[in-house]
Structure 1
């Protein structure tokens, strides 16, 4: 199938498919006229890449997990669980940082409100 149909089937843009290819995450056959031809295996691989990106992995990180992208790696793959646990720990650290920042903003808003309430109104 050609790129347009593949992108539609995956729910991504053709540009994203080209990006996966440019990053070395996927290798696509070409027809005699130069059009990209996606096999069912290519679609499964691209779907896995899309899913990893959606969970916060960079293309560099995904490339290091290439064994998890092929049909042979469709099940548990070497290092995959470890990489996913590391990503989860990273997300949890980011979440804790965001929670702390949110609380600091809420505290500051409360201080400002109390300051405004304490000031007498001038007429």
Structure 2
């Protein structure tokens, strides 16, 4: 399958497919004319990479989980549960930080509105 067809099927750009390859996440074969040729296994690997990126993994983190990208073995990848658990903990920390920031903004907004309302009553 050619790059455009592969990208369309995966719902990503051809540039993103090249990025996966440039980051060492994929090795794609070439047709006789030099164009990239994606096999069904390449498409499954690219879909896994796309899905990991969509859940917040960096290409560096994905590269460290190379076993999770291939079709080798029928079971879960080595360390996959640990990496996903770590990512979930990281997301939870970020979420808690954002919740605290949001609460601080809501409090400050309430203070400012109250001060404006008080000033309006004095005038």
- TM > 0.5: yes
TM-score (norm 2): 0.96
Look up the SS of the partner of 2:72 in the other structure.
Answer: helix
Q: Unaligned regions of 5+ residues in structure 2, if any? A: none
TM-score (norm 1): 0.96
Q: Distance in 1 between matches of 2:70 and 2:111?
A: 55
Residue deviations 1:22-67 (CA, integer Å, cap 9, x gap): 0000000001211000000000000000000000000000000000
Change (3 A) 1:105 1:86: same
TM superposition outliers: structure 1 runs of 4+ over 2 Å: none
Q: How many residues align?
A: 121
Q: Given that residues 68 and 74 in structure 1 are in contact (C-alpha distance below 8 angstroms), is that contact kept between their aligned partners in structure 2? A: no
Indicate the residue corresponding to 1:20 in structure 2. 20
Indicate the residue corresponding to 1:42 in structure 2. 42
Q: Given that residues 67 and 73 in structure 1 are in contact (C-alpha distance below 8 angstroms), is that contact kept between their aligned partners in structure 2? A: no
Change (3 A) 1:74 1:28: farther
Say yes or no: does 1:59 pair with 2:59: yes
